[in-house]
Amino acid sequence: MEDNQELIKILKTINKEKTICLLAPSFVVDFKYPKIIIELRRIGLKKIVELTYSAKLISKEIHSEIIKNKKKQYICANCPSVVKYIENKYPNIKKKIMDIASPMVLMGRFMKQKYPKYKVLFIGPCISKKQEAKENPEVDFAITFKETLDIIQYAKKNGLYIKKENEKKQFDQLYNDYTKIYPLSGAVAETINNREILSYDEIIVADGILEIDRAILKFKNNKKIRFLDMLFCKGGCVGGPGIISTETLDQKEDRVIHYRDKSKKEKLGKHLGKFKYAGDLNLKRKKS
C-alpha cells in the first residue's frame, strides 16, 4: 500500500472531501456486516449506500422494456466486461445490448444528482469497474475489495482510522433486499418477474467465457430466445478477481443468499428504497 499512490490519493480524498461509498452487495463474501460499514466510516466516508436500490430500478426497467416488444431480443448490460466482449467479438449483435446503465453507474448518477458536491467511490469485486468509472463521470473512483482492505489497514497504521461516538452501523437509505442476490449468476433473470413476461426457454443464463460463447451462439441462431443474462466471471460477481476469499463458489453464493435472507428481518424504517425516489432519473447507459 505504501507504494500504491493511487490508493493513497483515494484515501486522502476521502479524508479531505465529502465522499459517498457505493458498496457492491457481494461485499459479504469478504467482509462482515455491519463491521465493514463502521470501518468504512472510520476511514472518512460520509455516506455508504448499497447498489441494491439501483439494481431494483434496473430490474423494473428491464421488465418494462421486454413487455414493450414481445418479439425483440435483449442482452443485459449490467456487466461491463460482457458489454466490451460483445462489442469487440460479436459487433453484429451489440445493438441488442439493453440501453440501461449498470448498477454502479446508475447508483452513482443518482447520488451525484442528490449530493452534487460529493465525490463517489465504488467498492466491488470487479477490475473492469475501474475502466467503467473512468468512462462515466458519475463515479470518481472504483476499487476492489482487496484494495479496500489495503486502504483500511494503511489508515489504521497511519493514524487515519478515526473512531467516533454513536457510529452508524447501517447503510444510508435507499435499501432493497431481493436484489441483494445481483452478484450471483442468473440473479437478473430471477428479479425481473420473468414469469410474467418470458417463458423458461426464452431465457439463457451464462457465466464465464465458455458459457457466454455458447449462449451467444444459441441466441444468434434461435430468435425465440429473448433475454441473455450473462456475467463475465465464473459464478458471477462472487467469482470476481478483486475478491479476497478463497472459498468455493458455492460457499460464496451461500454467503450472499444468507445475507439477503437475514436482511429481510432487519428493521431499517425509512431506509427502504421506493421507486418514486428516483423521480426522473436517466436510466440509459450514457447520460444525455
pLDDT class of 67 with cuts at 50, 70, 90: very high
Residue 271 has pLDDT above 60, yes or no: no
Whether 84 is covered by a domain: the verdict is yes
Please report, for residues 18, 45, 120, 254, the alpha-carbon distance to residue 117 in angstroms, rounded to integers and kept in the order given.
8, 14, 10, 38
Chain-centroid distance of CA 20 in Å reads: 15
Task: Calculate what percentage of the chain has a pLDDT beyond 90.
Answer: 83
> Rounded to an integer, what distance in angstroms lies between the CA atom of residue 240 and that of residue 100?
22
Whether 141 is covered by a domain: the verdict is yes
Total number of domains constituting the chain: 1
Please report, for residues 36, 87, 124, the alpha-carbon distance to residue 30 in angstroms, rounded to integers and kept in the order given.
10, 32, 10
Cell of 32: 462482515
Average pLDDT for 3-24: 94
Lowest mean pLDDT among 1-5, 194-198, 209-213, 273-277: 1-5
Task: Please give the residue range of the domain that contains residue 170.
Answer: 5-278
Task: Please tell me the predicted confidence (pLDDT) of residue 162.
Answer: 94
Whether 284 is covered by a domain: the verdict is no
Cell of 255: 454467503
Whether 283 is covered by a domain: the verdict is no
Residue pLDDT, tens place only, 87-119: 999 999 999 999 999 999 999 999 999 999 999
Task: Please tell me the predicted confidence (pLDDT) of residue 287.
Answer: 63
Identify the DSSP state of 170: S
Higher pLDDT, 88 or 267: 88
pTM above 0.75, yes or no: yes
> Rounded to an integer, what distance in angstroms lies between the CA atom of residue 27 and that of residue 123?
8
Residue pLDDT, tens place only, 165-206: 888 898 987 767 889 999 999 999 999 988 879 999 999 999
Contact 225, 204 (CB under 8 A): yes
